[in-house]
Amino acid sequence: MKYSKQGFFYGSLLLLLGGCGSKPLPNEIYVSSKEEAKLKMSQTEVSCEKTEDCHPAVGLLVSYHQDKHVLSSCTGFLISASQIITNSHCIPKKIKQGKEQCTNLIEFFLPKSSQDTLSEKNYEEKHSCKKVLFSSEIEGKKRSTTPDYAIIELDSVSDHPPLSISRNGFSHKENLKIFKMQLNEKSIPSGSLKQESCTTIQGSLILPQFNHKTAPIVSLSGCHNIPGNSGAPIIDSEGKVRGIHYASLTSYGEKLFKQRWKTSIHTETRYMSFTTNLACIHHPWASINQPIASECEMDVNTHKNSYDQIHDFNKNSKAQILLEFKKWTSQFSSSKFRLIFNEPKSHQPLIGEVQAECLSQQEQIKTIPYWRTQIEINATFEWKSGGIQRLNQTQFDPSKQPRCPG
């Protein structure tokens, strides 16, 4: 692939993930011991303020990370009466490494409605983890290309209907919904279930790898992301889950983007988020019965990369500019000078310069920026051609320019 290094130029630098670093994040609560962690878990509050936000399959996942002495909160959702999906980075390392059992260290809470005033509990259902069936390997991996998900078996059966998984993948400009936990600032795990609308953005400069519907990672615009949202389901118009929300751009990623492409981003980067595509995951022991799409067998390198598209556009534009230059210079003839076209060297914008050179002394007389091709980048990091433009419409007068000696 052309621009293979740039094509993956951000990796984890672009992504803000819950549970990283030594200082507790907004979705983490410091605890001094496992006993305190269990006590705070038992006091967890989770609710729905609005009826339309109350998806019956979506809840709050609380886990104890002993290595950091924190309780971490994520979003999770039912895929069967006794199985849930969340992000792999929400699972404590010691549990993923098999050094600890998940029982009483990971718990899943389904919210009660604001209309439920009879129950004394701060949630409708509570389930403990029986076993982590699978967690994707994300340590040391490129976060922009590595699926981030985990499947957990619960120790009890839920009365809530689970979500069905769709293998349809993600097309460009699809309108979807996300149901996620918005955390409250308290000393115990606490959150409210909310929903927002999202739109998929294929072939963007931020995530060029998302250029076909079964790409492992998907970029979305419009989803406000903060810690605690990780693991939220991305749901289509049929009510089926297509992906698992896991990260967003950071301000550092925005800075790198500006440095690389020499352009400004006219949007808040927190509204660009990333999702693990469920189209191609396969685990026979999990409650996912739909067959994998045939497109999942395709090599990612067979799909056109946005960087390749830009490279091809640049190449074709240069050829067109040279053709225009030859047409333009055919009207001039002189034994004293010649016109030289310097090809564009930068990616954005592409500017070609016309240079007049005296033949007698090889003296460069005048350089005129004359043609350019413009690649525009919009608020969702898509690129489009602005075409070839004439920057200088003044006719080149050979009787006056250049003035060659002798």
Instruction: Establish if 401 belongs to a structural domain.
Output: no
Name the domain boundary from 247, 282, 317: 282
> Do 273 and 317 fall within a single domain?
no
Are 126 and 236 in a shared domain?
yes
Spatial CA neighbour of 61 closest among 158, 129, 130? 129
> DSSP class of residue 165?
B
Residue 258 has a pLDDT of 57
Same domain, 363 and 236: no
Is 299 part of any domain? Answer: no
User: Could you give the CA distance from residue 63 to residue 77 in angstroms, rounded to a whole number?
Assistant: 15
397 inside domain: no
CA 85 to CA 154: how far, in whole Å?
11
pLDDT tens digits for range 283-323 = 665 666 666 766 775 554 555 566 666 667 667 777 777 88
Report the C-alpha gap between 404 and 391 in whole angstroms.
25
Its domain, for residue 318, covers 308-390
258 and 319 belong to one structural domain: no
Evaluate whether residue 323 is within a structural domain. Answer: yes
Checking if the pLDDT of 10 tops 50, the result is no
DSSP 8-state assignment for residue 231: T
Which has the higher per-residue pLDDT, 149 or 120?
A: 149
pLDDT at 65 over 80: yes
Residue 26: cis peptide before it, omega within 30 degrees of 0: no
When the pLDDT of each residue in the chain is averaged and rounded to a whole number, the result is 77
Residue 1 identity (one-letter amino acid)? M
Give yes or no for a contact between 301 and 334, defined as CB atoms under 8 angstroms apart: no
In a domain, 396, yes or no: no
For residue 290, is it within any domain? no
Task: Write out pLDDT tens, residues 319-341.
Answer: 777 887 787 777 766 666 777 77
Q: Are residues 130 and 215 in the same domain?
A: yes
Work out the percent of the chain whose per-residue pLDDT is above 90. 37
Q: Is 13 helix (H, G, I), strand (E, B) or coil?
A: helix
Q: How many domains does the chain have?
A: 2
In a domain, 399, yes or no: no
Tens digit of each residue's pLDDT (9 = 90 or more) over 346-384: 544 556 677 777 776 555 556 666 677 666 655 556 666
Residues 272 and 313 in one domain: no
